[in-house]
Amino acid sequence: MALNTLVVDDSSVMRSIIIKTLKLSGLPLGEIWEAKNGEEGLRVLQDKWIDLALVDIHMPVMDGEEMLTRLRENNQYENLPVIVVSSESEPSKIEKMLKLGATFIHKPFTPEILKDVIIAVTGVSNEETD
Amino acid sequence: MKKQIENILRESTIKTFEDICFIYQVPELKDDQKKLTLEAAAEVKFRGNYTGKLMIETRGGLFSAIAANMLSNEVPSIQQKKDALGEVANIICGNVVPSLGRSEPEYKIESPTCLNTDDVLKEYKKLKPLAEVSLNFNQGRADIKLFVNNYSVTKEK
């Protein structure tokens, strides 16, 4: 199963790092799409088939919390695996994202952590990563 | 409390450089490394329970090395270098600000900005940081300073 992946972060550098990590992970990847805020991310989701979204919290125009809230209001995306990748440390903010069905990875992260979490949330089997 | 914040600042910086930049700390600054010229700086402002900013300065080639490693690009553009340094500052700030002591911290971190080095040398000389660390790497040196307005331990729970 090839994962069509959406990376949402206002930092072009962080998007590049995440994409580089994805490509080096050995995970079965399909298309990778980028967005620099939640609003753009939702537009990509309308147009493309996405299997996994990696989303920052703090972004201009529309932040990650609002994006995820709107996403879950749409039945089509209620089960979309979402990984929040953020330097946010405040427990109540993290809790909000978890309640919206996201998994949380704290920045800074190692490539191994990102890969392990993606495997856990998408159900990609280890055999596929060999 | 100040020592605790400084420890968190140091640990967050080391971890950020290791995990995101694949740049590892080496022991103590040598005398010639202490005298390196400032090459770049970025700041991240935050507001909420406290307002302030975190600044990172680089010396000795670290400015290029950060971007080169983060982006796997041996010759990053100046914009890529600025963006990469700003992102490092952003991540460190996000990890440090919650340690300022409020039991339920509320804060907003603004987008990072790269600074003119002349302004850094003039403006920041007047300010006293709450915490600061200097770290040495094979690729250069980083100095990180946390400035917090009106910080008082007696305000904390």
For chain A, the average pLDDT equals 91
Nearest to A11 among B16, B87, B93 (CB): B87
Tell whether A110 lies on the interface with B, counting CB pairs under 8 A: yes
| Per-residue pLDDT reduced to its tens digit, B136-145 | 998 999 999 9
Q: Is the complex ipTM more than 0.85?
A: no
Specify which of A84-98, B76-90, B98-112 reaches the highest per-range mean pLDDT: B76-90
| CB-CB neighbors (< 8 A) of B105 in chain A | 90
**Residue recorded with tokens 């340094």:** B85
Q: Has this prediction a pTM greater than 0.95? A: no
Sequence-distant (6+) residues with CB within 8 A of B111 are A10, A60, B44, B86, B90
pLDDT for the residue B143: 95
How far apart, in whole angstroms, are the C-alpha atoms of residue A75 and residue A83? 18
- Could you give phi then psi for residue A98, rounded to 5 degrees? -65, -40
Cβ–Cβ gap B83/A89 under 8 Å: no
**Residue recorded with tokens 């749409």:** A74
| CB-CB neighbors (< 8 A) of B104 in chain A | 90, 92
How far apart, in whole angstroms, are the C-alpha atoms of residue B15 and residue A110? 10
Cβ–Cβ gap A90/B106 under 8 Å: yes
Cβ–Cβ gap A87/B95 under 8 Å: yes
pLDDT bracket for residue B108 (50, 70, 90): confident
How many residues are there in chain B? 157
| Per-residue pLDDT reduced to its tens digit, A33-75 | 999 999 999 999 999 999 999 999 989 899 999 999 999 999 9
